[in-house]
Structure 1
Amino acid sequence: MFKLDNFNADGVEQVYQRCILMTGTTDASTDHVLLKSESRRGKPATPEQRWPVSNGHFKALALLAPGMNTVSLTSGNDDDDKLALRIRYVPLPKTPPLHLAILIAKDSPLSIDCPPRKFGTFSSTHSSLDAVIAKFRVTALMWQALIAEDMRKKDLGRRSFQLQEEWATDTLTRESVQISTTRPQETLGWVPQIHLVRTDKTVAELRHMDLAQPNQRAKSKGPLHDVFAQSLKEYGGPFVARSRPVVAGLVLDSHYDPKRNLVLGHEPFGLHEPDGLSLAVFGSHLTYAWPRFMDEIPECLLDARLSGESVSNENGQCLSLWETCAVSQRDFLCEVHRAFGGTPDQFVRSGDIIEWPKAFLSRTAYCHQSDTDGEEYDLSDPSWLSPPSDSFRGSLSDALFLRASRPHFKLPGDKNLPLDAPVIEIAGTYEKATISIRSVTKIRKVTTTQGPKPDPSFSSTEHLWQTVLDKDYITKNVQFPWGIKVLADNGVQTEVQNIWAHLHPATTFTIPGHPHITLEKKSVGPRTGPPSSNWHPWTVMLKKRDAQGKLVRASKIALHVGDVLDGAMVYYRDGSFATCGKPGNIPGGHQKRTMALKKGVDVTCVAVTRWSVDRAWWPLLGLRVWGSDGRGMGALNARHAGGNKTEFLTAGRGRRIVGFYGHHGSHGNLCTEFGIVTAPRGVRLPGEVYDVERWEVLTSGGEEGEKGEDEGERKPKRRRVGGDKDSTVAKNDAMELDDGSDSSSDGDGDDNISEDVDSGYDDFRRASQSAIKIYEELYKGKQYRE
């Protein structure tokens, strides 16, 4: 009795690709099953194929004709033990296909490398151009079936690329090829089309272009790839750039030179061109081991005979004929995957070649590479699942991305998915934090690395995951790095390597006599190590009292950034200024930018770049500030070696930024910490904060305010600022708390203060334009208006 694992034998299943991979079990005591596919359109049934059975399990590939098909399975020669499966094959003629092409030199001998033991009856049996065409067709169908089954296992539906077909002699089965020699009209049918593309280069020229070492994958596009692409464009037809074709290209005249131990004319490289021709290039020097017919697949994947010394062994990976077949089919598929836009180097590993035959058969042959005996199907071994693992195909993210972005993998009824990246929002301090994961498309998977035990509990919907961490939870787990990776349904991923690094030290305190008004401070700075002995704390507010005691607002901010962060200057409407740094020291910085603060424009976001590794009280790298008008100024220096930790400080809901604070250390008086001071939005701050005795809020360097006797709020420790010993700059550095009102002393002066020219993109020289757009869209000021 038969039982299928991946098809429903009781109904009619609909598929959209020509070749299908079937897996199942049989109770019969047999070493093989017979498979035959028959169409209702009157076309003769495909000849019976033998597929091995191991421990009652079998795997088999079946070819379908458009319309309803009946796939019959029989246990050995026992006609009483059989299964008839009905499958409707619906081609998708409007879906762009994967094109197959062979590049041929102008003086090509039209033959490929082939060891003597593979000759068969004639030396050209496996080495002629006709043999290469037949092998390429069967290999492409194997890829198609494998990807469709992989997509099904990932819950994406049985989907794969289409193949361009032509009406020609059917070379897909051994019997049809034999009949074609005497009755050619009876063997005409639809077969994958192979484009034979001539180049004006000679064999010697093609082999001179790339002297690739065995098993060496090209790191970038080379001359052979360019020649192939140019030849396709000259060929015309489906290869015009506006059609955006994806092509699997085989170089017919590649050759192994045993004297130099080099493969000539072989450049394994796949390149995706979104607006043009996408091409995967591979040499034909291992193609001799590929199956010519569907019924030859088991034979080729179980042939443990040695390949010999006249052909390439790919650094010991291709010692036997089946290993040669598996390595070359797998590695070529990897380049095709890259041509579709998949992640490079996603599924080629040197030690797992045994998994390729496991994907198509229920047993394997002796492996010379690992010196291991052949294996029988084992239900308890996950490597026998079809397909086994991510070793020769794309990951889940790649599969989702191909489904969402490539029309080649669309099925009827699929909706267009936006390619927006999911967003991980981390807000709060070491006392309380909120982690929100949002995605325009459905959140497919959330994974964590290391991190707290137990994991926090997320409240989740399809588009939003959220959790709140309290102080006790953070304190217990902050010493363990905790990363989160989010995969959206469109295949786009977002990753935060350490959640804790995005939390900011905060000081929350109340103004004496006004317990309902809280001020908060949070910063970006060093995570480890004590401050140096000559560090200098500073606080600068965006409003201050002038000589007459009236409030004046800041009119512009000068951001001084060189190779690292020097500091900043805040200029006020009365002509005075305050230094975000040591009093009296005006910062330098060759990347200085000046940002005007026009009336009604608030500072809404501050971005600070620090070193990617924790360095005790080292200077910060860059600073950028956004206003509520959406304009940003500054230089982040994100391109610096190791400086890829850009963190963003915002006031949070219901609050506004009213000042800056931080520290300057001993490294040339450079900035080691930069932060923001926030106050409730729409709340008038009391006037006593602007008394002659000014209050400077303690920084978050570890000191805490004294607790009140009658309530648990922190009382800010105060330091007297002023007197004869204090310089004018020091007075201007004193913290001024914004009461939310506009001072009459602002006057009617000109708000259009001259600004330095700033493209805004000098910090992203290594980033793509899409990365720049993400930075600007996510963090420009208008995102934080309320």
Structure 2
Amino acid sequence: MTKRSIDTESTSPAPRRVKPTPIEKRPFTVANFIDGDIVHQTAISIHGECPIFDYAPETNFVSVSVTDSFNQSQAVQHWPLHDGKWKALAMLTPGISTITLNLHHASGVHDSITISLNYVPLLQLPPLHLAIMVAKDSPLLIDCPPAKYGAFATAHSDINAAISKLRMAAYMWQALTAEDFREKGLGRRSFRLDEEWASNTTLRNTHSHTQRGSSATMGTVAKVHIIRSDKTVAEIRDAQVAQQNPRGRKREALHQYFESALAASGIPAFQSSSRPVVAGLILDTHYSAEQKLILGHAALGCHKSDGVSLGIFGSHLSYAWPRFLEEVPACLADATATGDSVGNDNGECDTMRGACFVGQGAFLHEVGHAFGAAHTTGIMARGYSPSWAMNFIEDEANSRMENEARWDLRDVLRFKLLPHFALPGDGGPVTAEFRQAGVTIAVDVDVGVDGDGDENVDEVIKVSCKAGIAQVTLQIGTDEPRVYFNDITGTCTAFSINTTSEKLDRSKALKITALAMNGKERVAKNAWSLLKEKPYITVPGSNIILHKQSVHSHSFEAGDNSDNDGDDEGYIHWAMLLHKRGKDGTLHRATSIDLRVGCTMDGAVVYYTDGSHRNCGPGGQHSFGGHASESHNLPEGETIRKVVICKEDDGWGSLAGIRMMLGNGESWGHLNYRNRDYDDDDDNSENGVDEPDSEAIVTLAPGDDEEIVGFYGQSASGSGFTYQFGILTAPTGVVLPEAVYDLPEFIEVE
């Protein structure tokens, strides 16, 4: 490091001189905004690069000044920089905001940037609501350690502090989410917050006015609802409802308490018919040093598309959260020990910064569940614990880490389906067909002619989804996975890997992970096994190929039954066509299909014009049960548009249910959807045309130039329950040759 020197040879006082400071010559830039950008959220994360100064690091920082379209300026904010990088948060008001960024070093301003952003709130979209639940006899205080002056002041522990901290945390979530969406190529999307005209606590000077009781500085800020529970402090702090108590008998009760308090509040926004998404803070959480247990705390989230989607978290770590913008850098870098009077949640909260990371990050995790995210990676896999601060500040403590406090791509694609994350130009509401489209990984054929004029057939692995393919990842053996295809625009609906021309080591397992634009994912643990059972049927004497696509029950897949070359003990293979050749040689079309569903998927029966029928399952005299069965006519000339299957076996092992839809929109059948995963998508919608959005629901549909001509699958040889159900497709309008009806695949199994 170059040091300053003073001229000591002169006897008279002389000004102190500073040697030139070596710097790496890189410009001071903003990386994620350009002048004139339009944004749709209040809080933004802004970052860029700057020169690397090799001198006086304590003097280096970036100042941020925001002036609105009425020429009203916010207080200047200071943000740290490190190793030639900087990050900052800014709060915007509707209209044009002018943001002035100054780079400070040693003697003053080294460089300056000014950009203008146009903040256009999308008030027509549903917001994320913020709520704090308090006991009916609550002291209106939260845990606060001595290091935060908890025994002497309520600056970080009273209800006003809790409101300010929750509000600031929500704005940080908003900024993080918008930047994460942008970096993933999906536009700067985030939820908006339900805002109101109230005392502005998001800046130090306006927050201080409110705390002192002087004339409050009003502004548009996120509304925090105080929801009074009918439970007492003692009931909320009952060890039996503490989620972290391994012997607790009612560890999900706090979520129910919060839901009940919202319903009883009488606030229209919290009624089920409003379908709100709520981030709920439990105020009366408390660490019991005697029991070594955090009481009144639960980290739970639940998404209900037809009700209240609620993510809850305790207040026991909120002492470490910032109350206003100026406190953000300090709270995210504070290595002060938290002490013994507060809970060390998950063993990761022994410092103030650690408590802030876990508190804000784990709460956002539960809000993620409320928006429908599953336990994937990043934020939904506790990635916030080590790297939360990396989204907001540049700090030496995080400089060598990978930022894991991000949303998984699967989650943001699911969020994108919600109206909360819409952007102008999206093209209208998401259709049920797009939302339900499943991902298929199957072997296909590529028919060609070689140099000698002989026909050859290459086998390819085809990944397809009508919603569009976002990403295909391949892993060969234990090698590092690599992205084989990545198109976040979703314009590609089918992607093929030619197993003949590609140099893939067949001695190692080939794992293929395919992600669709609707957030649905399909994994083939060893794609080579797909080649063992051909996914097509060739018709002798013609160039017509019947393509196959199917779905297996979860237990069937877990048993690797697909790897047994069709000799599955206890299962029978069956296949049938929607036209049947009668004894007189005449073809008879299908007139109706009876979908047999009870506690599980029994099977199906296809009836023909000659009065005969064929079972989708055991043949002969086998009779299917099913109390929820439904039959439907097939009008002449009408085709089956799609088949929807529920894989959720509910302990039976077989598929759960089935629905079919005709080209004219008519549908029938029963899915038997009973998802009970509390933390994930808790959608309980009816078994109607708009099927639940779940990994358990798979849609089978022909390609754009194909139509369904038959079905195939595997059923239990005894009960007849269906473990695999698939569709056979052929080119649209093609008349199948006579030879197809003589194929052994279509001989009825007795």
TM-score tier, shorter chain, comes to: 0.5 to 0.7
Given the alignment, which residue of 47, 50, 60 partners 1:26?
A: 50
Partner of 2:470: 444
TM-score (norm 2): 0.68
Residue ranges of structure 2 left out of the alignment (5+ in a row): 1-25, 447-456, 551-560, 675-695
DSSP 3-state at the match of 2:28: strand
Q: Is the 8 A contact 1:330 1:356 kept in 2?
A: yes
Deviations 1:188-220 (A, max 9, x none): 333332222222322112222853254999999
Partner of 1:142: 172
Given the alignment, which residue of 422, 435, 439 partners 1:410?
A: 422
Letter of the aligned partner of 1:293 in structure 2? F
User: Does the alignment pair 1:90 with 2:119?
Assistant: yes
Shift of 1:265: 1.4
Partner of 2:93: 65
Partner of 1:307: 338
Structural RMSD (CA): 5.9
Distance 2:425 2:616 in 1: 61
Given the alignment, which residue of 343, 353, 364 partners 2:385?
A: 353
Given the alignment, which residue of 284, 289, 294 partners 1:253?
A: 284
Given the alignment, which residue of 127, 131, 136 partners 1:101?
A: 131
Q: Is the 8 A contact 1:537 1:664 kept in 2?
A: no
In the superposition, relative to structure 1, how do residues 209 and 632 fare at CA in structure 2: closer, same or farther (>3 Å)? same
Distance 1:305 1:123 in 2: 18
Q: Is the 8 A contact 2:228 2:261 kept in 1?
A: yes
In the superposition, relative to structure 1, how do residues 415 and 223 fare at CA in structure 2: closer, same or farther (>3 Å)? same
Q: Is the 8 A contact 2:654 2:722 kept in 1?
A: yes
Distance 2:715 2:183 in 1: 55
Q: Is the 8 A contact 1:248 1:281 kept in 2?
A: yes
Moved more, 552-561 or 149-158: 552-561
Q: Is the 8 A contact 1:422 1:486 kept in 2?
A: no
In the superposition, relative to structure 1, how do residues 162 and 77 fare at CA in structure 2: closer, same or farther (>3 Å)? farther
Partner of 1:273: 304
The residue correspondences of 1:357-368 to structure 2 (distance < 5 A) are 357-364=389-396
Moved more, 219-228 or 71-80: 219-228
Shift of 1:285: 1.1
User: Does the alignment pair 1:485 with 2:514?
Assistant: yes
Aligned length: 654
Shift of 1:324: 0.7
Deviations 1:409-439 (A, max 9, x none): 2233332243512553747579655666555
Letter of the aligned partner of 1:85 in structure 2? T
Distance 1:393 1:83 in 2: 30
Shift of 1:326: 0.6
The residue correspondences of 1:585-596 to structure 2 (distance < 5 A) are 587=622
The residue correspondences of 1:538-549 to structure 2 (distance < 5 A) are 542-543=580-581, 545=583
Partner of 2:564: 528
Distance 1:42 1:463 in 2: 46
Q: Is the 8 A contact 2:465 2:516 kept in 1?
A: no
DSSP 3-state at the match of 1:72: strand
In the superposition, relative to structure 1, how do residues 211 and 474 fare at CA in structure 2: closer, same or farther (>3 Å)? same
Letter of the aligned partner of 1:415 in structure 2? G
User: Does the alignment pair 1:224 with 2:240?
Assistant: no
Partner of 2:692: none
DSSP 3-state at the match of 1:147: helix
Deviations 1:76-122 (A, max 9, x none): 46434132322324241333322222112221111111111221793
Deviations 1:288-332 (A, max 9, x none): 111122111222122222211221111311111111111010000
DSSP 3-state at the match of 2:279: strand
Deviations 1:380-419 (A, max 9, x none): x6x2xxxx23xx342223223323322x222333322435
Distance 1:535 1:224 in 2: 46
In the superposition, relative to structure 1, how do residues 220 and 598 fare at CA in structure 2: closer, same or farther (>3 Å)? same
Letter of the aligned partner of 2:288 in structure 1? D
Partner of 2:316: 285
Distance 2:573 2:127 in 1: 64
TM-score (norm 1): 0.65
The residue correspondences of 1:417-436 to structure 2 (distance < 5 A) are 417-419=430-432, 420=434, 421=437, 424=440, 426=442
DSSP 3-state at the match of 1:353: helix
Distance 1:272 1:594 in 2: 30
Letter of the aligned partner of 2:412 in structure 1? A
Letter of the aligned partner of 2:424 in structure 1? P
Partner of 2:155: 125
Distance 1:44 1:456 in 2: 50
Distance 1:145 1:393 in 2: 12
Letter of the aligned partner of 1:189 in structure 2? G
Letter of the aligned partner of 2:31 in structure 1? N
DSSP 3-state at the match of 1:114: coil
Letter of the aligned partner of 2:339 in structure 1? G
Q: Is the 8 A contact 2:182 2:189 kept in 1?
A: yes
In the superposition, relative to structure 1, how do residues 434 and 206 fare at CA in structure 2: closer, same or farther (>3 Å)? same
Distance 2:572 2:199 in 1: 84
Partner of 1:3: 28
Partner of 2:241: 211
The residue correspondences of 1:614-625 to structure 2 (distance < 5 A) are none
DSSP 3-state at the match of 1:263: strand
DSSP 3-state at the match of 2:423: coil
Q: Is the 8 A contact 1:607 1:647 kept in 2?
A: yes
User: Does the alignment pair 1:111 with 2:141?
Assistant: yes
Shift of 1:129: 1.5
Partner of 2:688: none
Distance 1:600 1:53 in 2: 71
Letter of the aligned partner of 2:303 in structure 1? H
DSSP 3-state at the match of 1:95: coil
Letter of the aligned partner of 1:204 in structure 2? A
Distance 1:655 1:164 in 2: 47
In the superposition, relative to structure 1, how do residues 608 and 654 fare at CA in structure 2: closer, same or farther (>3 Å)? closer
DSSP 3-state at the match of 1:46: coil
Letter of the aligned partner of 2:471 in structure 1? K
Shift of 1:178: 4.2
Given the alignment, which residue of 50, 64, 73 partners 1:36?
A: 64
In the superposition, relative to structure 1, how do residues 662 and 456 fare at CA in structure 2: closer, same or farther (>3 Å)? same
The residue correspondences of 1:733-748 to structure 2 (distance < 5 A) are none
Shift of 1:171: 2.6
In the superposition, relative to structure 1, how do residues 208 and 75 fare at CA in structure 2: closer, same or farther (>3 Å)? same
The residue correspondences of 1:691-730 to structure 2 (distance < 5 A) are none
Distance 1:566 1:442 in 2: 31
Letter of the aligned partner of 2:300 in structure 1? F
In the superposition, relative to structure 1, how do residues 68 and 305 fare at CA in structure 2: closer, same or farther (>3 Å)? closer
DSSP 3-state at the match of 1:315: helix
Highest CA radius of gyration, 1 or 2?
1
The residue correspondences of 1:760-779 to structure 2 (distance < 5 A) are none
The residue correspondences of 1:41-52 to structure 2 (distance < 5 A) are 41=69, 45-52=73-80
Distance 1:127 1:558 in 2: 64
Partner of 1:328: 359
DSSP 3-state at the match of 1:163: coil
In the superposition, relative to structure 1, how do residues 89 and 129 fare at CA in structure 2: closer, same or farther (>3 Å)? farther
Distance 1:51 1:165 in 2: 26
Distance 2:101 2:724 in 1: 73
Partner of 1:342: 373
Q: Is the 8 A contact 2:603 2:617 kept in 1?
A: no
DSSP 3-state at the match of 1:355: helix
Distance 2:706 2:673 in 1: 30
